Amino acid sequence: MALPTAAYSVRLRVRLDNVPGALGRLAVAIGEGGANIVALHGFEAKGPFLDEDVVINCADASHIERVRELITGLDGVEILEFADRTFEMHAGGKIHVLATVPIIDRDDLSMAYTPGVARVCTAIAVDKERVHDLTIKKNTVAIVTDGTAVLGLGDIGPEASLPVMEGKALLFKSFADVDAFPVCIDTSADETPDDKVRAIVETVCRIAPVYGGINLEDIAAPACFEVEAQLRERLDIPVFHDDQHGTAVVTLAALQNSLKLVGKRMEDLTVVISGAGAAGVAIAKILMAAGVQDVVACDSRGAITGDRDDLNSAKREFAAVTNPRGISGALADVLPGADVFVGVSGPDLLTADDLRKMASDPIVFAMANPDPEIRPEEAEGLAAVMATGRSDYPNQINNVLAFPGIFRGALDAGATEITEGMKVAAAEAIAAAVPADELTPENIVPSVFDRTVVELVAAAVAGAAVTDGVCR
């Protein structure tokens, strides 16, 4: 069974018989059920009873229910409240709007709204560039999705995607002080792929005057490629598809530091990527730009090769620049001898035997969310470096290391786009955030809570924007 995690955290309010050993029996039952007690928030004696607040972590939703049944069956234990802490955190949403200026009297009102605001409107009408300085546009990003490729959940629609987009906005604000807001677009299920692209592009272009940047999120391939390309062409503000480029930036940073540990070079690597969607394609491109010469990508039908007749346009372009040896077969067939595995696909696709067939000191980045291609417990002792996309394991390859600093730097520099040079600069800054004397197989990327990362990335990105000549 997977390890308990805060993603499946439960808050218990229990009433125990006020006798010796009652709390101990509860703790033993929780432990024997495979859950982990992470907090005791105090108790209150009420005559013959003892009320206790307990926080436990479980492994998944079914595990929560099994633990609940165990506790319910205990003598002398009554469950007063049983609450899923993750759902409690999301109740009512995770973000809101705050005023940046006070409105205390008539003078404040006259400046913030009528009649004074008309002067500011007129100034922008005369010179549209002033909108970047006189409105929220200077520090605001739209998080755009149609809900067709959310996490590892697939096409769940715009409404169901909203908690993820809210979370993204929360991270933007918490880590980089960027104001971001979800824009979840309803593309009808019976629309053609071209219609979906057109709907997203037109919607974003029409609302773009409000925003200083566009963060594309959880849009299924191949539509996401066309959406990004069209928006980059039509808009004069940064457009960044985080599933593609954010993931790629952090992956490159993690690989750069991993190679320092195993003593290998980019140009000598054989890399196998599981997943040929947005993230897989972007990762392959940035790794090849960094010097990797042998990349083989697999989708659900096996290795991407030029002779396959079932490839969409994006995969055909991909096939033309990858798989130089022309190998074919399923993932298990192409993995033997590989130095690096990068997973951006789905859960439980690899086994311990697969890892044993890789090259010496294999590097394994199993980044599928919420469940990786192989769990670290199964890879223990086999992978020289192991990373996932999860926060409850070491080496979380998490986009939050990239996108807040990238947008912070782009907005500060007044950039009109995100260039390849800016992405590479971001990767190098993330890698450099781990000091050489702290680099270990369990520490190849900085913590997402290391607030210096945003500063380093922002500075590197802003400098690259100046170098690349894309500042407003």
Check if 5-90 and 106-237 are the same fold: no
Average pLDDT over residues 8-33: 89
Distances (CA, A) of 415 to 55, 139, 354, 419, 467: 46, 12, 44, 9, 11
Average pLDDT over residues 291-318: 87
pLDDT at 41 over 90: no
Which of 8, 46, 94, 113 is labelled catalytic? 113
- More confident call, 74 vs 185: 185
**Predicted confidence (pLDDT) per residue in 414-465, tens digit:** 999 999 899 999 999 999 999 999 999 999 999 988 989 999 999 999 999 9
Which of 8, 137, 168, 423 is labelled catalytic? 168
φ, ψ (nearest 5 deg) of residue 41: -95, 20
φ, ψ (nearest 5 deg) of residue 388: -135, -175
Domain 242-472: give its CATH code. 3.40.50.720
Q: What's the confidence (pLDDT) of residue 321? A: 86
Q: Which residue has the tokens 């197989």?
A: 441
In whole angstroms, give the CA distance from residue 346 to residue 273: 12
**Predicted confidence (pLDDT) per residue in 119-163, tens digit:** 999 999 999 999 999 999 999 999 999 999 887 788 999 999 999
What's the pLDDT band for 1 if we cut at 50, 70, 90?
low
Mean pLDDT of the chain: 92
For the chain, what is the HEC assignment?
Answer: CCCCEEEEEEEEEEEEECCCCHHHHHHHHHHHCCCEEEEEEEEEEECCEEEEEEEEEECCHHHHHHHHHHHHCCCCEEEEEEEEHHHHHHCCCCCCCCCCCCCCCHHHHHHHCCCCHHHHHHHHHHCHHHHHHHCHHHHEEEEEECCCCECCCECCHHHHHHHHHHHHHHHHHHHHCCEEEEEECCCCCCCCHHHHHHHHHHHHHHHHHHCCEEEECCCCCCHHHHHHHHHHHHCCCCEEEHHHHHHHHHHHHHHHHHHHHHCCCHHHCEEEEECCCHHHHHHHHHHHHCCCCEEEEEECCEECCCCCCCCCHHHHHHHHHCCCCCCCCCHHHHCCCCCEEEECCCCCCCCHHHHHCCCCCCEEEECCCCCCCCCHHHHCCCCCEEEECCCCCCCECCHHHCHHHHHHHHHHHCECCCCHHHHHHHHHHHHHCCCHHHCECCECCCCCCCCHHHHHHHHHHHHHHHHCCCEC
Domain ranges of the chain: 5-90, 106-237, 242-472
In whole angstroms, give the CA distance from residue 411 to residue 180: 12
What's the pLDDT band for 44 if we cut at 50, 70, 90?
confident
What's the pLDDT band for 277 if we cut at 50, 70, 90?
confident
Distances (CA, A) of 295 to 126, 274, 276, 324, 338: 52, 11, 12, 8, 10
What's the pLDDT band for 370 if we cut at 50, 70, 90?
confident
* Contact status, residue 58 vs residue 84, Cβ threshold 8 Å: no
Dihedral of the alpha carbons of 376, 380, 386, 388, in degrees to the nearest 10: 0
Cβ neighbours, 10 Å, residue 41: 11
In whole angstroms, give the CA distance from residue 313 to residue 390: 31
Q: Which residue has the tokens 């880590």?
A: 175
Active site residue 168: yes
Distances (CA, A) of 410 to 127, 191, 282, 462, 471: 22, 34, 20, 6, 8
Give the type of residue at 448: V
pLDDT at 55 over 80: yes
Which of the following CATH numbers is that of domain 106-237: 3.40.50.10380, 2.40.110.10, 3.10.105.10, 3.40.50.300?
3.40.50.10380
pLDDT at 398 over 70: yes
User: Closest Cα partner for 142 from 241, 229, 221?
Assistant: 241
Cβ neighbours, 10 Å, residue 214: 26
In whole angstroms, give the CA distance from residue 421 to residue 37: 46
Average pLDDT over residues 12-25: 87
Q: What is the pTM assigned to this prediction?
A: 0.85
* Contact status, residue 166 vs residue 93, Cβ threshold 8 Å: yes
Sign of CA dihedral 345, 346, 352, 353: negative
Which of the following CATH numbers is that of domain 5-90: 3.30.70.260, 3.30.565.10, 3.30.2320.50, 3.40.470.10?
3.30.70.260
